[in-house]
Amino acid sequence: MNILISFLELMLYIAVIIFVAFCIVWVIRSFMGWTIDANVYKWGQIIVGLLCLIAIVAWLAGVLGMGAGLPHFWGPALYR
């Protein structure tokens, strides 16, 4: 059960990363009216992908006992 909960935390962590990136692109395009260059957009996607990959590797290391895993922002309140 703990692995399932930690996997769901990983999915939430990745969803937050993607949501923040989407909001940044939305603000730049909608409110500021700027266009994003294709190369800048491509590198932004690469950075978001790397952040997600780092989160997955950190989670796997935590599950396999080789690392601390993901940071637990909401951990103390849930596990009382």
- Segment 34-62 shows an average pLDDT of 94
pTM, full prediction: 0.81
**Residue 42 domain-assigned?**
yes
Alpha-carbon span 13 to 72, nearest angstrom: 10
Query: Is residue 19 assigned to a domain?
Result: yes
Place of tokens 């009382």: 80
Q: Is 20 helix (H, G, I), strand (E, B) or coil?
A: helix
76: Cα within 13 Å, side-chain hemisphere: 1
Assess whether pLDDT exceeds 60 at residue 76.
no
Tell me the pLDDT band of 62, cut-offs 50, 70 and 90.
confident
In whole angstroms, what is the distance from residue 53 CA to residue 57 CA? Answer: 6
Q: Does residue 80 surpass a pLDDT of 80?
A: no
Residue-number span of the structural domain to which 49 is assigned: 2-71
Residue 76 domain-assigned (yes or no): no
Q: Specify if 63 maps to a domain.
A: yes
Q: Is residue 22 domain-resident?
A: yes
Tokens 């895993």 correspond to: 69
Cα–Cα distance, 68 to 43 (Å, whole number)? 29
* 4-29: pLDDT as tens digits: 888 998 999 999 999 999 999 999 99
Q: State how many domains the chain has.
A: 1
**Is 35 inside any structural domain?**
yes
